[in-house]
Every structure is written in structure tokens, then in C-alpha cells.
Amino acid sequence: MKLHKFFIWLLLNLSISIAWADTATLYQQFPPTAEGTGKVYMGREIAHVMGYQGAAWLERENREKEERTDLLIQSLGLKEGMTVADVGAGTGYLSRKMAARVGNTGIVYAVDVQPEMIGKLKTTAKQFTNVKPVLSEVNNVNLPSNILDLAIMVDVYHELAYPNEVMQSVLKALKPKGQLVLVEYRAEDDRVPIKATHKMSEVQIKAEMSALPLSWQKTIKTLPWQHVVVFTKE
């Protein structure tokens, strides 16, 4: 019996060691830049998360004009009855727009890691019965398996503390051939008035997604500041 317990203990500790080694291989820590965390994934410094204190910026009056979120919504091809996730939903600005497109027979999971943002989202989206707030973890979106037709992150991916783990959980929630849409400020364009760690190039986005069972579908470049990079779950 004692020997049996020892082997169980050994297996558990080996599993923990392997998980730690995998994480250590994925991420490195360096002295942070002024706007970054110092944590590096695939050569990119992860940015600080925009706190709930910046919620007003997400709801600013000129956001649609500056970012053409109307064009973004049109490009997603949303249809009545679809189940989608807005990962890093913040105040629910995009969740509300998508909710109107998928209709009462559809669902928008509005996912955020900050409880304060979830609280604000519940207020701003209270008239939309098809918006379902979800409090995520830093490494897991906390969604059921195989339910999503589409998952979108708008200016969110570059802030993920555990991008590989979060994306694995998103992939788990996507249906076969479901779409992943990453919207990021263009690092290739110096005219985009956003700090460098909060931008991503198309090349870097594709490189990071190549570590996952995803196929690049297209890149939409019609927005003023951002590119929309679309992938399909393999």
C-alpha cells in the first residue's frame, strides 16, 4: 500500500514538473519595457492589460468613426442563430453589436477576466437577453466545448498573460471549422496612434497561430487602424 501511494505521489509530481517545464519553454521573462510586462512569447513582449479604469475609452463616442467598427461587424458574416464569443469583451461594446446580428435565437458569450468589467457589461447589455457574461481565468475562457461558430478578440490577444493556454481553451470551445478572428492595431503602420506593445504585425499574428491547429483564411485590411486576421479551426 505504501509503495502504491509512493507511485501516485511520483506521478503527480512528474506531471507538475512537466507542466512547469512546458510553461518555462513557452515563456521567458526579461526586464520590462515602459509599456510591457517583460514576459515574452515567441519573441513578442506581452502588453499590460487595460484595466477596468479605462472602460470609458471603450465606449467613447467617436470609436465607430475612428475604428470603423461598423465595417468590422459587416466583415464577420454573422447570421441569425449563430453562437459567438467576444473574448475580452470589456464593457460589451462589440458584444451588443453582435447580439443584434445573431438575434434572439443566437448567443453572444461576453467573456472577460476582470470582474469589474463583467459588472459594467451586465449594465450596458442588460437589454440584450442573448448576451451571456462569462468571467474567465487568465489561462482559460471557461466556455463549454464545441459550441462556438465564431470567436473574436478585438485588441485583446496581445495582452493575454497566457496566450497559448487561452487559445487552446478557445479552440476547445470552437466547433469544427469554426472561425477565430483576431483584430489588432497594425504594427506595420507608424501612423496608428497606439503604443508599440499594443500593436501586432500580421506576420507575428500568423506565426503565433501557427503553433495551433488553425488555418489562415484571410486578412481584412479595410479598417483605418487595425487588421482583421481570420483563421479556421482545423
Show me where the domains of the chain are located: 52-233
**Please, are residues 184 and 157 in contact by the beta-carbon 8 Å criterion?**
yes
**Cα atoms found within 13 Å of the Cα of residue 135, Cβ hemisphere only:** 8
Q: Which pLDDT does position 54 carry in this prediction?
A: 86
**Please, are residues 129 and 112 in contact by the beta-carbon 8 Å criterion?**
no
The answer on pLDDT for 201 being more than 60 is: yes
Interatomic CA distance for residues 73 and 222, integer angstroms: 12
DSSP letters of 81-92? T-EEEEET-TTT
The share of the chain scoring above pLDDT 70, in percent, equals 90
Q: Which pLDDT does position 6 carry in this prediction?
A: 40
DSSP 102: H
**Please, are residues 95 and 121 in contact by the beta-carbon 8 Å criterion?**
yes
Report the run of H or E that residue 106 belongs to, with start and end: none
State the amino acid at position 23 in one-letter form.
Answer: T
Report the run of H or E that residue 23 belongs to, with start and end: helix 2-26
Mean pLDDT score across all residues of the chain: 91
Interatomic CA distance for residues 30 and 217, integer angstroms: 34
Give the CATH class of 52-233: alpha beta
- pLDDT tens string 107-143: 999 999 999 999 999 999 999 999 999 999 999 999 9
Q: How confident is the model at residue 211 (pLDDT cuts 50, 70, 90)?
A: very high
The share of the chain scoring above pLDDT 90, in percent, equals 86
Residues 6+ apart with CB under 8 A from 25: none
- pLDDT tens string 177-197: 999 999 999 999 999 999 999
Pairing of strands 174-186, 131-135: unpaired
Mean pLDDT for the stretch of residues 212-220: 98
Q: Which pLDDT does position 51 carry in this prediction?
A: 87
Q: How confident is the model at residue 18 (pLDDT cuts 50, 70, 90)?
A: very low
Q: CA dihedral defined by 164, 137, 33, 205, rounded to 10 degrees?
A: 30
Q: How confident is the model at residue 24 (pLDDT cuts 50, 70, 90)?
A: low
The answer on pLDDT for 10 being more than 90 is: no
**Please, are residues 198 and 35 in contact by the beta-carbon 8 Å criterion?**
yes
- pLDDT tens string 34-59: 889 999 999 999 999 988 888 998 99
Interatomic CA distance for residues 121 and 112, integer angstroms: 9
The answer on pLDDT for 23 being more than 80 is: no
Q: Calculate ∠ Cα 10-15-17, nearest 5°.
A: 95
DSSP letters of 181-203? EEEEEETT-TTS-S-GGGEE-HH
Instruction: Phi first, then psi: give them for residue 142, nearest 5 degrees.
Output: 60, 50
Place of cell 463583467: 118
- Give the predicted TM-score (pTM) of the model: 0.88
